[in-house]
Amino acid sequence: MSAEAVIRPLADVMPALESLYRDLHAHPELAYAEQRTAGVVAARLRDAGYEVSTGIGVTGVVGVLRNGPGPTVVLRADMDALPVEEQTGLGYASTATTTGPNGESVPLMHACGHDVHMTWLIGAAELLACTREPWSGTVVALFQPAEEGAGGAKRMIADDVFAVTGQPDVILGQHVFPLPAGTIAYRSGEMMAAADAYDIKLFGRAAHGSLPQFAVDPVVLAAATVTRLQTIVAREVAPHEDVVLTVGRMHAGATGNIIAEHADLTVCVRTFDEAVGERVIGAIRRIVEAECRASGTHRPPEFTETVKMNVLVNDEAATERVVGGLRAQFGDAAVREMPRFMGSEDFGEFGTACGAPSVFWLVGGTDPEVYAAAQEAQSVEAEIPVNHSPRFAPVMQPTLTIGVTTLVAAAMEWLGDA
């Protein structure tokens, strides 16, 4: 069934969606703290006629719209923001902060575009509710908390989300990405990497900054460790294996005249192959423990697993069906196959848990002219801010219009004729 009739009123509702987007962008909240956000999306869903359940997986929201017999199509968006200080200079930029575990002020920003995802999903949910004649079945709008490594999908599943949604026939999701707006990128099969992260505590011995002979300096230990960890990917993994090892956090000390007591690292490993992942994690332990011995620490390092995400796999038949719908809507040139990449997502957990096929794709959010100029100057990497950058600022149009349309078009591939 063509999505055309459902999409038709989009231009009329777009001003309201743009103001929803600006509002969500200006009010970011961290994982499992998406209280205001959940309230905003729940109210919109209720107004549109959805049966709304809240508090699934702490702050998750599920809206269900039954429209006769037919398949159950779950559309998923994520809600959490990041501890990033926004530097976009946008009029609706976030100045929000929250309080960290040690009482410190933590800046907040929707630096991954989850505000875009929520706006897309509200737009699609409203359009499907407002034009019900061309389709039949059940639409589920699922708003997931804590995508950024904190296990929000698994938490919703543990909270029995499928008792609320019913058994899905397909689960669909999409992410804004620094491709030129107008481009949609998909991949059948393995699309995004598994991720494992560990907090590592290195114990030194504190002393006066003038008395290194009394200390075991954890700053020097941490610096040596971080440098040596880089050799795992370069020297221990076969060149054809995709592996990224990033030390995303390194913290030690308070001031110049004190040698610190301990140093803290967070290491994240991304892989596609489980055996390779285990090997890399084994190598991390070996190097960290050996560097501690080399420094003469009195206490072994502590490892705490903080993130465990699986490879995101798109169902092949379902991907073909979605891509068919997107090509019909946008033309072949706009819908491109992409290589797998090293980002991670817990979207795939839903399909794995309920046995339904799932499809995830990317929607470009960079001004196409800006992107083309950067490409021309061979400076895409230097000039185009990516997800998690403090300068990540998807252009509202055509990004919002395209992302609502893709969701509706993909959903209509399943919802079929009424």
Q: How far is the CB of 21 from Zn ion (least distance, A)?
A: 16
User: What beta strand segments (E) does 181-221 contain?
Assistant: 184-186, 189-192, 194-203, 207-208
Binding mask 393-412 for Zn ion (x = CB under 5 A): --------------------
Q: Nearer Cβ to Zn ion, position 58 or 252? A: 58
Q: Nearer Cβ to Zn ion, position 112 or 260? A: 112
| Per-residue DSSP letter, 63 | E
Provide the token pair at 239: 């060149």
Residues contacting residue 39 through CB under 8 Å, at least 6 positions apart: none
Q: What is the CA radius of gyration of the chain?
A: 23
Residues contacting residue 414 through CB under 8 Å, at least 6 positions apart: 71, 73, 137, 169, 170, 321
Q: How far is the CB of 304 from Zn ion (least distance, A)?
A: 21
Q: Nearer Cβ to Zn ion, position 67 or 387? A: 387
Please, which of residues 186-225 interact with Zn ion by CB under 5 A?
none
Counting runs of H as helices and runs of E as strands, what totals does the chain give?
Answer: 13, 18
Q: Nearer Cβ to Zn ion, position 164 or 192? A: 192
Nearest residue to Zn ion, scored by beta-carbon proximity: 112
For 202, list phi and psi in degrees, rounded to 5: -105, 125
Chain centroid to CA 138 = 26
Q: Nearer Cβ to Zn ion, position 6 or 112? A: 112
- Treating both helix axes as pointing N-terminal to C-terminal, what angle do 396-415 and 10-26 enclose, rounded to 10 degrees? 120
Q: Nearer Cβ to Zn ion, position 10 or 111? A: 111
Binding mask 102-121 for Zn ion (x = CB under 5 A): ----------x---------
Q: How far is the CB of 213 from Zn ion (least distance, A)?
A: 45
- Treating both helix axes as pointing N-terminal to C-terminal, what angle do 316-330 and 396-415 enclose, rounded to 10 degrees? 120
# chain residues binding Zn ion, by CB under 5 A: 1
Is there binding between residue 172 and Zn ion (CB under 5 A)? no
Q: How far is the CB of 148 from Zn ion (least distance, A)?
A: 5
Q: How far is the CB of 149 from Zn ion (least distance, A)?
A: 8
Q: How far is the CB of 203 from Zn ion (least distance, A)?
A: 31
End-to-end CA separation in angstroms for the chain: 9
Residues in touch with Zn ion (CB under 5 A):
112
